[in-house]
């Protein structure tokens, strides 16, 4: 697999990474831990060297899973994890907490669960409105100096926050949802990253599964599937939004590819510093996603996709109101 570099960090990763969240939560049905460890091994064997996790996934179980899985080839892969949530006595994540002393506490836990001496890429999972981003960046800068972290990242951060953090500690990557299903980052985030030399790491690059072409208008999601709480996936909104997937499917048919491959190839061609991290638990899907790296989209195809997605009237927000409250849109 071809590789890309995360911002100015010098960290080299596979051009398509693997989001590991779904191995521990958010999708139904649950999967066997041993199967997922073997799956991560298969991903590595096929060239994936960038694995994304977070302490909140599970919580904690996903870091433990990834840590055990990558142990045999730790020095050959890049691990990204995240801090930023409070945890109650029951272990459930609550509101944001990025106080310096709390960051240090969370990092020590992540190091143990991941079985590593250094976290390659440490994201602030969500921007904490109660803690200046300069303090957060300064804390991570100290952790980098101590050898516990290699590079600093932000997730769902606004342009102003990114600028302020980058001035204290260079930001290697910003994680944000980005796909043919959600192009909002192009308005402010992408220009900011291009200006500062920061990589974009799109999560949900396949529209939470919609762009695979396997989601149907009459599909229902169990309470354990987080899409049951996503407005864009409500029955009426999903039915209104799937015609966009039909357009992607038509382009894929002409190319002898799948809708997922077209969607990922589209992301890869947007900029050489964009590294999508599609999540999957299936070897067939993994191989399909990796194949997107070899798919060439013509100028005409790109123009049609651009026009179709810009003109499409999507229905429903991408998050619930409670989840939206955790996103930073700061532009100053």
Query: What's the pTM?
Result: 0.97
Q: Is the dihedral angle over the CA atoms 65, 69, 75, 80 positive or is it negative?
A: negative
Give the per-residue pLDDT at 332. 59
Q: Where are the alpha helices (DSSP H) in 228-320?
A: 235-255, 259-270, 283-291, 299-311
The reported pLDDT for the residue numbered 323 is 83
pLDDT tens readout for residues 207-219: 999 999 999 999 9
Q: What is the pLDDT of residue 324?
A: 84
Which pLDDT score, from 0 to 100, does residue 329 have?
Answer: 83
Determine which one of 27, 57, 123, 178 is catalytic: 57
Q: Residue 175: name the closest of 151, 149, 157 by CA.
A: 157
254, with CB counted inside 10 A (0-12, 13-18, 19+), is exposed
With a CB cutoff of 8 Å and minimum separation 6, the contacts of 135 are 98, 100
Which stretches in the chain have pLDDT values below 70?
Answer: 89, 332
Position 86 scores a pLDDT of 92
- pLDDT, residue 330, reads 81
Catalytic residue check, 87: no
Residue 108, H or E segment: helix 100-114
pLDDT of the residue at 331: 75
Contact at 8 Å (CB) between 208 and 227? yes
Q: Which residues contact 90 (CB under 8 A, 6 or more apart)?
A: none
Query: Would you state the pLDDT for residue 165?
Result: 98
Q: How much of the chain, in percent, has pLDDT values that exceed 90?
A: 91
- Its CATH class, for the domain covering 3-324, is alpha beta
pLDDT for res 89: 67
Residue 50 burial (CB count, 10 A): 28
């Amino acid at each position: 697999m071809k590789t890309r570099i995360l911002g100015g960090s010098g960290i080299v990763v596979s051009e398509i990474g693997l989001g590991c969240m779904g191995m521990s939560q958010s999708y139904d049905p649950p999967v066997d831990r041993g199967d997922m460890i073997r799956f991560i091994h298969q991903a590595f064997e096929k060239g994936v060297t960038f694995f994304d996790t977070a302490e909140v996934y599970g919580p904690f179980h996903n870091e433990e899973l990834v840590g055990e899985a990558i142990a045999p080839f730790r020095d050959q892969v890049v691990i990204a994890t995240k801090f930023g949530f409070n945890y109650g006595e029951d272990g459930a994540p609550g509101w944001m907490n990025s106080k310096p002393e709390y960051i240090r506490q969370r990092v020590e836990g992540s190091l143990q669960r991941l079985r590593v001496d250094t976290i390659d890429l440490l994201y602030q999972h969500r921007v904490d409105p109660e803690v200046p981003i300069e303090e957060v960046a300064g804390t991570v800068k100290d952790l980098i100096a101590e050898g516990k972290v290699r590079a600093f990242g932000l997730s769902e951060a606004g342009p102003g926050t990114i600028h302020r953090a980058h001035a204290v500690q260079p930001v290697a990557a910003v994680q944000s949802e980005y796909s043919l299903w959600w192009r909002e980052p192009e308005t402010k985030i992408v220009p900011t990253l291009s200006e500062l030399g920061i990589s974009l790491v799109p999560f949900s690059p396949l529209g939470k599964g919609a762009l695979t072409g396997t989601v149907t208008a009459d599909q229902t999601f169990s309470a354990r599937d987080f899409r049951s709480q996503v407005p864009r996936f409500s029955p009426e909104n999903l039915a209104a939004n799937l015609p966009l997937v039909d357009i992607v499917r038509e382009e894929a048919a002409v190319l002898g590819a799948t809708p997922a491959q077209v969607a990922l190839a589209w992301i890869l061609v947007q900029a050489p510093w964009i590294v999508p991290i599609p999540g999957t638990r299936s070897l067939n899907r993994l191989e399909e996603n990796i194949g997107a790296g070899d798919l060439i989209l013509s100028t005409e195809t790109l123009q049609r996709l651009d026009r179709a997605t810009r003109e499409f009237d999507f229905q429903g927000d991408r998050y619930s109101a409670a989840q939206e409250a955790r996103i930073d849109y700061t532009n100053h």
